[in-house]
Amino acid sequence: MSRRRSRRRSHRRNRRRSALAHVAHPRARTRMSRTKRKKRSSSSSSSSGSKKRRSSKAARASPRLREEIGLSDPFRDWLVHNLLRGVRPERLVEQLAQQAEVPREIAAREVDAMVSSPLLPMVTRYARWSRSLELVLELERKRQRGAAAIDRLATVDAETFYTRYYRAGRPLLLDDATRSWPALERWTPAYFAESLGDVELDVCVGRAADPTPDLNFAQHTQRMRVADFVARVLEAGESNDLYLIANNHAMKRDELAVLLDDIVIDTSIFDASKVRGASSLWLGPAGTITPLHHDTSNIFFCQIYGRKRVRLAPPGDIPLLRRLRGFYVGLDEGQDAERALDAAPDDQGPLAGARVVSVDLAPGDTLFIPAGWFHHVRALDVSISFSLLCFRQPNRFDWYTPGAPAL
């Protein structure tokens, strides 16, 4: 029984310590340093632990020092959160005093300081507006229960594509949109090495050791002959260490313009005059990964060689928006993105509730990815992919940055 009482007392002390912290302003630091100097001169033989205990007792006993003690940052965050939720100030004082064992005088002073802050009304307005938008998104999510649906068609005409998918922001999987492209027959790693072998391209190398290689792509960019790069890709096995990505802007190189002869452009959907500056090329080994992110443009993603697995989720999925940093969805260290995405529709894991759908793309498959849709891509084989962005309708939504750090 005595051990239990001791553990309970220790738990209460730790909880009280975590709730309180010295306010870091110059006068407080000066007065505390004077107190410490006095203690050193009067009792140099005391241990550091006893000094801390006496300092703590002095703080409780001295009104001047008590004024310099306030809530720790986590408890202040908790206080702001509950004030924005509409919890009454007197109830918060009671909770701090009874549950966190904060002295009532300090609890009342901290709550009063928050309530009287001129920033609180403004923050409250933003919080209410944010909550309203979140409820709208949640209502839409409840209406569309389960994973997001993706229509699958053989081909699509321009009117249907723009009316039902492009303007509506709905993804679409096409089986035969690129079947007539010569690229499906020609584009292989061997073809690239033979026909473009001496061309030098910027590629990304050393990605595997970087948790955010796409974000830091410039740090991994190296100039390399196509033949040398292809050789390394074929030797890599399953790896995310080297990859030719969209940000390497390969299709803007004059030497690669010949590849466009292998592409058949549907001019009812695309502006053929803009293909050169609005297309991208990917080439890499099995195991390359593009982390979960969204883009600010619509993408016509064409799988040419090998297979890729694409996991998608709608722009309004709150579990993803809450973790959005810039254009990428971040997970805590040690959490696996693919496992989290696969578990999300079953309300499991860190992304629980996200409406994730998985699509495997084989050569000849095309996936329309609307702007704002989250997507994670893994190469299942050595892979070559190509994308078009030169639609005949507006396709720049640079203002769409829900993960921006500030307004």
pLDDT digits (tens, 9 = 90+) for 145-181: 666 789 999 999 999 999 999 999 999 999 999 999 9
pLDDT in tens, 255-298: 999 999 999 999 999 999 999 999 999 999 999 999 999 999 99
Position 239 scores a pLDDT of 97
Q: Does 219 lie in the same domain as 351?
A: yes
Residue 53 belongs to what H/E stretch? helix 48-61
CB atoms within 10 A of CB 321: 18
Q: Does 87 lie in the same domain as 157?
A: no
> Has residue 284 been placed in a domain?
yes
Given a cut of 70, whether residue 40 has pLDDT beyond it is: no
> Has residue 17 been placed in a domain?
yes
E runs forming strands in 193-340: 200-205, 221-225, 242-243, 279-284, 289-293, 299-305, 308-313, 324-325, 328-329
Residue 128 belongs to what H/E stretch? helix 119-143
Q: Does 115 lie in the same domain as 155?
A: no
Domain of 63? 2-120
Asked if residues 343 and 331 have their Cβ atoms less than 8 Å apart, the reply is no
Q: Does 187 lie in the same domain as 262?
A: yes
The radius of gyration of the chain from alpha carbons, rounded to an integer in Å, stands at: 29
- What CATH number does residue 312 fall under? 2.60.120.650
Residue 45 belongs to what H/E stretch? none
Contacts of 51 (CB under 8 A, 6+ apart): 36, 39, 43
pLDDT in tens, 172-227: 999 999 999 999 999 999 999 999 999 999 999 999 999 889 989 999 999 999 99
DSSP state of 149: P
> Has residue 233 been placed in a domain?
yes
Q: Does 185 lie in the same domain as 286?
A: yes
Asked if residues 298 and 397 have their Cβ atoms less than 8 Å apart, the reply is no
Q: Does 227 lie in the same domain as 364?
A: yes
Q: Does 77 lie in the same domain as 21?
A: yes
Q: Does 169 lie in the same domain as 75?
A: no
Given a cut of 50, whether residue 27 has pLDDT beyond it is: no
- Enter the pTM of the model: 0.74
> Has residue 54 been placed in a domain?
yes
Two tokens, residue 336: 């696996």
E runs forming strands in 212-253: 221-225, 242-243
CB atoms within 10 A of CB 174: 21
Q: Does 189 lie in the same domain as 95?
A: no
Number of domains the chain is built from: 2
Q: Does 65 lie in the same domain as 164?
A: no
Q: Does 296 lie in the same domain as 206?
A: yes
Q: Does 315 lie in the same domain as 210?
A: yes
